[in-house]
Amino acid sequence: MPGRRRAGRDGFTLIEMMAVILIIGLMFGLFLPNLDAARTARLEDQAREVARRVQLARERAIMTGAPHRVWIDVGEGAMRVDWYVDEDRAARAIGNDPIDAEAATDPALDASGRRTISLAPPETLDRDYHPVPNRFGSRDFLPVEYSFVGIETPEGFTEQGEFQMVFNRDGSTEYTEIILSDSFDNRVIIEVQPLLDRVRIRRDEEARR
């Protein structure tokens, strides 16, 4: 009719708005799980860096015949690998990783690499913990987005202060769980299993409940 004007559209209909909300919801439903999985994967990569230090300390303890420790400052997120030797042996090993150069650290090996037996009385050496002569002997810090939640041992739970995981000359130690977290409260557990001689990384599912 000539007098009737065509009605204009001033906005979305209810059905259109519901469709947009549904599409956005589906996109978030697909995107968020993948994002969370990527964060957890990065956290596990960081846990493997910590586990690498634990495994190195055990291997060096067996190879060098000297106790080793993984030193951790829980609150500061710092860690370092030390070995229990006298100052002279620590100084002689600088620049020579005993895993690659056993003669640099084994007093029973001479300069040519031949094993010798001393008939002299054993010396009383002043031993203490010294940083190992490689990059793991430096005080490293976790990246800012990661932190130590705490450390569980048979003696109890530690969430602040300094902690040391000691490996004896035969590589033995006690059962330990190192709990690592990111800024989104994803958590993984670095589980040191002495009876199986291995370090296992597993997700802390209870932390997400």
Note the pLDDT tens digit of each residue in 170-188: 999 999 999 999 999 999 9
Supply the pLDDT for residue 101: 38
Question: What dihedral do alpha carbons 70, 60, 43, 141 form, nearest 10°?
Answer: 50
Cα 35 to Cα 29: distance, rounded to the nearest angstrom: 11
Domain boundaries, the chain: 39-84+134-208
| pLDDT of 169 over the 80 cut | yes
> Are 74 and 161 contacting, i.e. CB atoms less than 8 angstroms apart?
yes
Tens digit of each residue's pLDDT (9 = 90 or more) over 24-64: 767 666 655 566 778 888 999 999 999 999 999 999 999 99
Other CB atoms within 10 Å distance of the CB of residue 57 = 24
Instruction: Specify whether domain 39-84+134-208 bears CATH 3.55.40.10.
Output: yes
Q: What is the pTM of this model?
A: 0.71
Angle ∠(29,31,37) on CA atoms, nearest 5: 105
Token pair 């802390």: residue: 204
Supply the pLDDT for residue 66: 95
Supply the pLDDT for residue 13: 80
Per-residue HEC secondary structure of the chain comes to CCCCCCCCCCCCCHHHHHHHHHHHHHHHHHHHHHHHHHHHHHHHHHHHHHHHHHHHHHHHHHHHCCCEEEEEECCCCEEEEEEEEEHHHHHHCCCCCCCCCHHHCCCCECCCCCECCCCCCCCCCCEEEEECCCHHHCCEECCCCEEEEEEEECCEEECCCEEEEEECCCCCCCCEEEEEEECCCCEEEEEEECCCCEEEEEECHHHHC
108-122 mean pLDDT? 40
Tens digit of each residue's pLDDT (9 = 90 or more) over 130-155: 999 999 999 999 999 999 999 999 99
203-209 mean pLDDT? 66
- CA count, 13 A, side-chain hemisphere, 109: 14
Supply the pLDDT for residue 121: 47
Supply the pLDDT for residue 125: 65
